[in-house]
Amino acid sequence: MKAIIIANGQIHDSDFYRSLVAPTDLVICADGGANNALALGLQPKVVVGDLDSLDQSLRSRLEKMHCQFIVHPARKDETDLELAVKYAAEQGAQEMVILGALGDRLDHTLANVLLLALPELRPVKAKILDGRQELFLIRDGALIEGQVGDTLSLLPLTEEVTGIYTEGLEYPLENGTLYLGPARGVSNTLTAPQARVRVGQGLLLAVIIHNDE
């Protein structure tokens, strides 16, 4: 099962996002992400959070659409998006596409990206989409699909990431190590429609920027 999780951040290229959603997908909104969902013409099936970003008229509209609400207190340790991601994992989602997770607030953006490292997502194929940008975590290995010239950055989320092997990139690594802090892994380039990255130990954040073509 695939879950489409919509947060309350920026949404770019609405037509592209709509094309990602199938009728069988579970559309989950993190609180005010319901506004983004409706703007995309999507019907939220579940709204998770403290609901501080939903006015009464919007909530009434969602109730008429038979949307389910999972309400949490305002004073809590998790963000609404974290609660939505964990809910999707509990429902058995094998794939998650997270939209609207990036925005003007750097603290929210960083926190949302780091949610990809949640233990609950270890068995899940999860990614954040923001226009042409795609972010996902590499724990063991990954097949990266794009086109020649796409930009790929590999950023360590642990003190070091060792045993890195890559194929299909302009600057290859063979049993390489990337360290938290230095920017060595930024702005590599795909030399083939598919690239492969294998990791021995550590967590690696992949950020691919797809060409417009």
Q: Is the pTM of this model over 0.85?
A: yes
Is residue 204 very low, low, confident or very high in pLDDT (cuts 50, 70, 90)? very high
Q: Is 61 exposed, middle or buried (0-12, 13-18, 19+ CB in 10 A)?
A: middle
Torsion angle defined by CA atoms of residues 121, 122, 127 and 128, in that order, rounded to the nearest 10 degrees: 50
Q: What pLDDT, in 10s, does the model give residues 67-93?
A: 999 999 889 899 999 999 999 999 999
Q: Is the pLDDT reported for residue 213 higher than 70?
A: no
Cα angle vertex 158, ends 190, 92, to 5°?
A: 80
- In this prediction, residue 44 carries a pLDDT of 93
Structural domains of the chain, ranges and CATH numbers in brackets: 2-131 (3.40.50.10240), 138-209 (2.60.120.320)
